[in-house]
Amino acid sequence: MEKEAKFDGTASADIFSLLVETSWKEKRKRREELLAPLGVKEFFVDGKITIDRLTCKGVECRLCIEACPTKALYWKSSGEVGIVEEVCIYCGACVLRCIVDNCIKVARRRENGEVERFSTSRAFTVLEHGINARKRFDRVRAIFPSAADYLKLYKPSMV
Ligand code: SF4
Ligand code: SF4
C-alpha cells in the first residue's frame, strides 16, 4: 500500500534535513580533497571565519596572509584580504598574528559539539592554554586513575 503523504510539514522538514546533510557531506569531501595534498589534518567539523574590512590594515599589514598554513587567505586585486573558506581549517594562526583586535573572527565546532569563538590574540592564547592543560590532565588521569594509583609508584619516603 502506498504511504500517505504528510501535509503537516514533517515530510518537507525531512527532505530539508536530507539536503542539508548531503551538502554538508559534499562540502567535507571537497575539503578533504583540497587539504590532502597539503598534508594538513582537520580538528574541527565545521566553522566560520570573517574579516572586518573596515578595521583591517590591509596592504600595510598582510600578516594574516603570511601566517595561514593552508593559504586560505590571499590579497585581492580590489585591495582587501580574501578568504577561501574551503581550505580554512580554523586553526587561529591568522587571529594570533592580526594586529587589530576583533578584525578576524573565528568560530569552530569540535566533534563533541563544543563551539569555540575567538577574535583576539589574547582570547586565542587563553583558549589554547586551556586546551593544553586539559590534554595534560587527561594524560595524567589515564596513567593514574586515582590518587592511590599515583601513591603506589611515588609514595613519599618517611625518612
Ligand atoms: S584560521 Fe587558520 S587556516 Fe583559517 S584563514 Fe586563519 S590561519 Fe588560515
Ligand atoms: S593581520 Fe589583521 S589587520 Fe593585518 S591584513 Fe590581516 S586582517 Fe588585516
CATH number at residue 52: 3.30.70.20
For residues 22 and 49, state if they share a domain: no
Burial 100-133 (b: 16+ CB within 10 A, else e): beebbebbbeeeeeeebebbbbebbeeeeeeeee
Whole-number Å distance, alpha carbon 136 to ligand 2 midpoint, is 33
Statement to judge: residues 78 and 128 lie in one domain: yes
56 in ligand 1 pocket by Cβ < 6 Å? no
Same domain, 29 and 46: no
Residue 3 covered by a domain? no
pLDDT of residue 7 exceeding 90: no
- Its domain, for residue 24, covers 10-39
Say yes or no: 102 and 27 in one domain: no
The pLDDT score that the predictor gives to residue 108 is 97
Q: Are 102 and 55 in contact (CB under 8 A)?
A: yes
Q: Grade residue 143 by pLDDT with cuts at 50, 70 and 90.
A: confident
Q: Whose CA is nearest to atom 7 of ligand 1?
A: 68
The set of cell numbers assigned to 85 is 573558506
Look at ligand 1, atom 3, and give the residue with the nearest C-alpha: 88
CB of 103 closer than 6 angstroms to any ligand 1 atom: no
- Residue 110 DSSP one-character state: -
- 26 and 46 together in one domain: no
Q: Pull the grid cell for residue 87.
A: 581550505
In this structure, which amino acid lies at residue 14? D
Three cell numbers, residue 78: 580590489
Residues 26 and 85 placed together within one structural domain of the fold = no
Of 28, 60, 66, the C-alpha closest to 47 is 28
Reported as a single tens digit per residue, the pLDDT across 109-118 is 999 999 999 9
In a domain, 50, yes or no: yes
pLDDT > 70: percent of the chain: 89
Does residue 2 belong to any structural domain of this protein? no
Q: Which of 99, 52, 43 is nearest to 70 (CA)?
A: 43
Mean pLDDT for the stretch of residues 128-156: 84
The residue whose C-alpha atom lies closest to atom 5 belonging to ligand 2 is 62
Closest ligand 1 atom to the C-alpha of 90? Answer: 1
| Tens of pLDDT, residues 52-65 | 999 999 888 999 99
What pLDDT is attached to residue 71? 94
pTM: 0.77
What is the mean pLDDT of the segment spanning 77-87? 92
Report the nearest atom of ligand 1 relative to the CA of 64.
7
Q: Kindly tell me if the per-residue pLDDT of 47 is higher than 80.
A: yes
Ligand 2 nearest-atom number relative to CA 51: 7
Is residue 56 located within the same domain as residue 95?
yes
Same domain, 142 and 125: yes
Same domain flag for 31 and 52: no
Count up the domains in the chain and report the number.
2
137 backbone φψ class: left, alpha, beta (φ>0; ψ -120 to 50): alpha
